[in-house]
Structure 1
């Protein structure tokens, strides 16, 4: 595990010395001070706005990292991946920027907004009946059968290293940060951020935020192994789904996450509403999970400098309106 952390930190550093921010379609996102959240917790709260990233999600960072690090012969034959939407859009955008053919496997129930975004970026889209987990299973099987390169949404050192660039940006933009809160699905985002921040500022608290209806990685961390976890529908669809067998993110999450919290669907919806009303931004449920975690534990952040990662903005109008109805 320590070797994985060290390798990821080294890979993230190399990205800064490459064309990551030019050829791959990634840019450094802004860090916004939040007066309302700062007032709520009597501290200083900053929003790392990955919702403003290319494709509206942090996922393009990992995708660009993975595709840029492919051997040339594999770039020409193309890659495939599975995604509930954001990783698919990020991979499609990165592949288009780098001239690499890509096929994206998605669950048939993918939102229209996410499907349209992926298709417009030129990827071949394959819909699979069933869950996001099953789409991933089909993609893995097809990759094995055809010999194509499969790019995991999270279980890949280059993916995690790409997400780690967020951690380095956080340290540059808020060098006195005391805590970073990020939502957790497969664990690639928080593994990359946590590995890099801990390498430079080890006392920084890394907080994993989970929807109460689908705290899969949290349950796996508690069991110290990847297990099947019963899930229920959640506004945080971007973090939903099981963990790939043998995923390196489990050990990384156990190593870098200092505290965890779960939040209810109502708390997620309230957080989404707060960001809309006070920052004029639409965020997806997974980002709402991180905001709700700060609010739920506000006393823990008195006089602290806290960064919340707003991981994305890709939410359908129907889902967002449903969330707003919940908290009227």
Structure 2
């Protein structure tokens, strides 16, 4: 993403708020007495588990799909995901009557595969991890003249995820720090852009599990690294990052 796109991200997020409002939910921001006592601070939780399809991914998926041209909609779409993005994209495509296909890694759980199928898309297996699957799906889209819906490496997807930051700043405008889970970086990019636009003094902290901290190590190295991930409870953020992200 170039600097011009970065500069326009806050306004694009505000447009996304209007675009997706009939398809997604404004999720609660709830005070956590336990975490507040534990950290000696006021801690609030943005409950994206109450979002459509159970995660923030619906925000980016709907914003991307609703931004497509008539030609792109008629042509069909393909995406890659090990779970949440696939289910969200499948639902978004289903709502707009788009013929969709979701590629998932070979080891994807039956529960996640069924969630994608139940949202209305065909599922195919390819690759041992997320990056392999993403690269294959992107190539498949090019070869078959389909639109590829990236899980994170896309301006419209990031703008959609940024609506979560818009809501946080509306619900708790005087917050000092926002901690965000990081996988491919779409969520923290959107939240960080809007939060910093609203309050330049706010701190944005990215959080990754030790067993799968590819983004953290890549930032330290100033290049995208290919690092094998170990098992982690945070499977939604696990895995690598596609080149060029």
- Shorter-chain TM-score range: over 0.9
The equivalent residue for 2:173 is 175
Structure 2: 5+ residue stretches without partners: none
Q: RMSD value over aligned CA atoms?
A: 1.2
The equivalent residue for 1:17 is 18
The equivalent residue for 2:107 is 109
Residue 4 (structure 1) aligned with residue 2 (structure 2) = no
User: Number of matched residues?
Assistant: 244
Residue 58 (structure 1) aligned with residue 59 (structure 2) = no
The equivalent residue for 1:244 is 242
Q: Supply the distance in 1 between the matched residues of 2:223 and 2:131 (Cα, whole angstroms).
A: 18
Are 2:135 and 2:242, in contact at CA under 8 Å, matched by a contact in 1? Answer: no
The equivalent residue for 2:38 is 40
Range with greater deviation from structure 2 (136-145 or 191-200): 136-145
SS in structure 2 opposite 1:150? strand
Are 1:214 and 1:240, in contact at CA under 8 Å, matched by a contact in 2? Answer: yes
Are 1:12 and 1:165, in contact at CA under 8 Å, matched by a contact in 2? Answer: yes
Q: Supply the distance in 1 between the matched residues of 2:228 and 2:90 (Cα, whole angstroms).
A: 31
The equivalent residue for 1:165 is 163
Are 1:103 and 1:124, in contact at CA under 8 Å, matched by a contact in 2? Answer: yes
Q: Supply the distance in 1 between the matched residues of 2:112 and 2:80 (Cα, whole angstroms).
A: 13
SS in structure 2 opposite 1:213? helix
TM-score (structure 2 length as normaliser): 0.96
CA displacement at 1:110 relative to structure 2 = 1.2
Q: Supply the distance in 1 between the matched residues of 2:9 and 2:199 (Cα, whole angstroms).
A: 16
CA displacement at 1:184 relative to structure 2 = 0.5
Q: Supply the distance in 2 between the matched residues of 1:114 and 1:105 (Cα, whole angstroms).
A: 12
The equivalent residue for 1:192 is 190
Structure 1: 5+ residue stretches without partners: 248-328
Are 1:179 and 1:204, in contact at CA under 8 Å, matched by a contact in 2? Answer: yes
CA displacement at 1:129 relative to structure 2 = 4.4
Q: Supply the distance in 2 between the matched residues of 1:171 and 1:81 (Cα, whole angstroms).
A: 30
SS in structure 2 opposite 1:182? strand
Are 1:89 and 1:121, in contact at CA under 8 Å, matched by a contact in 2? Answer: yes
The equivalent residue for 1:324 is none
